[in-house]
Amino acid sequence: MPRTNQQLHPHREPVATRPAATVLLLRDAPGDGGLEVLMTRRSDKASFAPGAYVFPGGGIDALDAAPATHAAADRRATQSDLHLTQAIAAIRESFEELGVLLARHVDGLRKGQMADAQDIAAIDRHQPFAAQCQARGLRLAADGVYLLAHWTADRDLARRFDVPFLVARMPEGQEPVADEAEQFEPVWVRPADALARHEAGQFFMIFPTIRTLQRLARFTSTQAVLDAVAHEQPLWVSCPRAGLLGGKEARYMEDEMPFGELALVCPDGQIVHPLDWQAERPVPLLKNVQRLTAPNPGVMTGPGTNSYLVGDPATGYIAIDPGPADAEHLDKLWRAAGGDIRMIVCTHSHPDHSPGAAPLQALCVQAGKAKPPILGLPSAPTARAASQFTPDRALQNNELLALAGQALEREITHTLQVIHTPGHAANHLCLLLQEDGLLFSGDHILNGSTTVIDPPDGNMADYLDSLDRLDALCAEHSVEFILPAHGYVLGGPVYGARNAIARLKAHRLAREAKVLAAMQALPDGSMEDWVRHAYDDVPPRMWPVAQRSLLAHVERIRALQPGNN
């Protein structure tokens, strides 16, 4: 974890959450049978999400968890007490708000049948719910309510709920009737149509509702959804974070690219961090870490190459990846460090990372400062001509680069550990800021794309071994955040650095399985043939680039075959 004294913003305790439950009532539409979900509009005077279209739900009451209420409900053998309580709350709220009754008769001629209009009319929405159902010979059908997802409201909100999003099949023969107090205008809608209407400004929804519908739109039927959640685990868990994009609030889930950066810079949910990519000024990430993105955006560089400054005025700075030899970029980098750059480190020798090192060094000397050494690993003989690089001094694996100084009568240190990580390039290295548990990953780990492995300087076996080495290092130092050379910071307290590494390795191995399948299906095929099959999920315009990584997979596959060791 980053040191608290390096955080940019004072600690702010988020509001405590309240337990609640909501349910997505699903049906297959008449006609073509496409999936529909029941939604309703909240009162314009509601204290939470006024005027928004939502799924029925609300707070969990003490009676929902009472043993007598549990005894009045049917449950699955695998359904925990907590999930049963949540299901009961969702059943109660769907009845109170929309008059939908998920309950079935337990005896008589109607045994096993779901409640009907006569039952619904006999139960008062404003009186204790479970007791009325029991008196009418009904048991709550909690065994038909499944956990879809779990949302915790954003840390910045004044009212926060901890909410399971449940799913259930709409009982046949029932029609929703809103209470006309909290909820209005019940409507059956396809997820894609609800999203389109929201985009058109005709169907206001809040963030969790939007993201839930986006995921629900992938399913074609109610049964497909119920099959997907039968294992009793949520399909996703999220506590979103918000930043500023184009001057407006923008929220993101854990699997979306800006999330890790917001978790690092604004851990308590402050909505102050700008997410717009620009090359005009450095972006502070911590008090001791700044990022200045070079003005070289493109297909291979994303928003541009991230140059980092580690340090502070009391210790001086280490510049990581000065980028291309762009005079304006280097001048901004130098000025952001107050001209006090003590070391320049290049993660590798590719032309978007190292050419700026020598002119940045010269800029320091011209200003009368001590000459900062250019550090890194020299390019290997396998490097392309544009990637030739010779540092002033070659770094050693596990070497420590330290800055130290005094401020307010206390010593400050910033220590970078060097980790040799060949794979993307033979001379690639990563850097671990030990005091704050931050991994500067160069091009080995990127946010938003996978790095190209281009033989002969790139090697897939080395790349995967380096991932394992980084994973062990992150485990040893409790690293949560990865700062890549392209894209936002990755990680966070839940989907941390190790999770990002695991997903990246799984992606590489899954791609390799597709490459192997293509080789087996087309044993006499060319690289162009194999890339069409193995990268069929990638736009064809990217196949020439993908073919370079495909070659690296082919080399590793052949090296692993019997007789090739």
pLDDT in tens, 148-195: 999 999 999 988 999 999 999 999 999 999 988 888 899 999 999 999
Mean pLDDT of 425-442: 98
Name the percent of the chain lying above pLDDT 90: 88
Please list the residues that pair with 116 across neighbouring strands. none
The pLDDT value recorded for residue 509 is 97
Report which of 54, 44, 20 is spatially closest to residue 212, judged by C-alpha positions. Answer: 54
pLDDT in tens, 355-394: 999 999 999 998 888 899 999 999 999 999 999 999 999 9
The letter for the amino acid at 123 is I
For the chain, give the mean pLDDT. Answer: 94
Confidence tier at 117 by pLDDT (50, 70, 90): very high
Buried b or exposed e, range 72-110, using 16+ CB within 10 angstroms: bbbbbeebeeebbbbbbbbbbbbbbbbbbbbbbbeeeee
The pLDDT score that the predictor gives to residue 537 is 93
**Residue 477 CB neighbour total at 10 angstroms:** 18
**469 CB-near residues (< 8 Å, 6+ apart):** 419, 421
Minimal CA–CA distance to 242: which of 258, 226, 220? 258
CB atoms within 10 A of CB 521: 11
Q: Is the pLDDT of residue 400 over 60?
A: yes
User: Per-residue DSSP letters for 126-159?
Assistant: TS-HHHHHHHTTEEE-GGG-EEEEEEE--TT-SS
For residue 563, what pLDDT is reported? 67
Residue 565 has pLDDT above 60, yes or no: no
Q: Among residues 77, 88, 101, 85, which one has the least CA distance to residue 25?
A: 101
What does pTM read for this prediction? Answer: 0.92
Q: Which residue has the tokens 């850097």?
A: 431
Give the model confidence (pLDDT) of 498-549 as tens digits. Answer: 999 999 999 999 999 999 999 999 999 999 999 999 999 999 999 999 999 9
> What distances in angstroms separate CA 241 from CA 120, 261, 262, 442, 511, one per listed residue?
41, 10, 7, 25, 31
Angle at which helix 543-560 crosses helix 527-534, to 10 degrees, equals: 100
